[in-house]
Each structure stands twice: as C-alpha cells, then as structure tokens.
Amino acid sequence: MNTIRNKNKNGRPRKEAAEKKGYKVTLKMATEEYYSLKSKARLAGITRSEYIRDCIQSSVVKERLSSELMGQIRELSGMANNVNQLARKANAAGYGEAHRNCMDTTKGLDDIIKRIEDGC
C-alpha cells in the first residue's frame, strides 16, 4: 500500500480549477478551412486547440449595425445620390462651380457613411 501512495505523490501535479479545460466545443468547417487551421497551428508550433483559443482571446468582434443605424445610412445614401444627380444636371447645363460644390458635398456624405459603417 505504501508504494502506491508514493507513486501518486511523485506523479504529475494537479491543475488549479482555473487551468482545467472543462468544456468541449464541436466545430464544423469546410476542407479548406480545416487545412488552413492545421497549417497555421503547425507554423505557430502549437496544437489546433491552442491556436483556436489564442484566436478567441485576441480577436475583436464588431457588433452588427442596429436597424435604426441602417435606416440612417440608407437615408444618407439617398441624400448622396440626390446630390450626385443635381451635380450631373448642373454640369450638363454649364454650371461648373455648382457641379464642383455638389461633388464636394457628395464626397463628404460618402465619408460620413463610411465612418459610420467602419465605427460600428
């Protein structure tokens, strides 16, 4: 009996509760995705599980745009289209300065839309 106790004491130390991996997640992926994961983990010199855990820890997930914000983006896009149409008509009628002003306004609206989409 003493030999069994000594054998257990010299074994691998127990892990803390925080170090234990208590959850198993099953993941389905396409062949291309699987081989991409496999090669990236091998290049990093870690297991696929460790690679996925590292990706989870270091990734940033953007929240989806709310329906209200999507409506505002649609409205801004409509305004930009209207200004662009006015600029074309002004250019066709020979109002060069008005055309340039409209194009500048359109560019400003497009920049605002892009910032809203990128920021959310």
Rounded CA separation 83/105 (Å): 7
Q: In terms of pTM, does the model score above 0.85?
A: no
Predicted local confidence at residue 63, as pLDDT:
79
- Kind and range of the H or E element at 6? helix 2-9
Average pLDDT over all residues of the chain: 82
Q: Report domain extents, the chain.
A: 25-61, 67-119
pLDDT in tens, 51-89: 999 999 998 877 787 888 888 888 888 888 888 888 788
Q: What is the mean pLDDT of residues 97-109?
A: 79
**Other C-beta atoms within 10 Å of 95: how many?**
15
Grade residue 46 by pLDDT with cuts at 50, 70 and 90.
very high
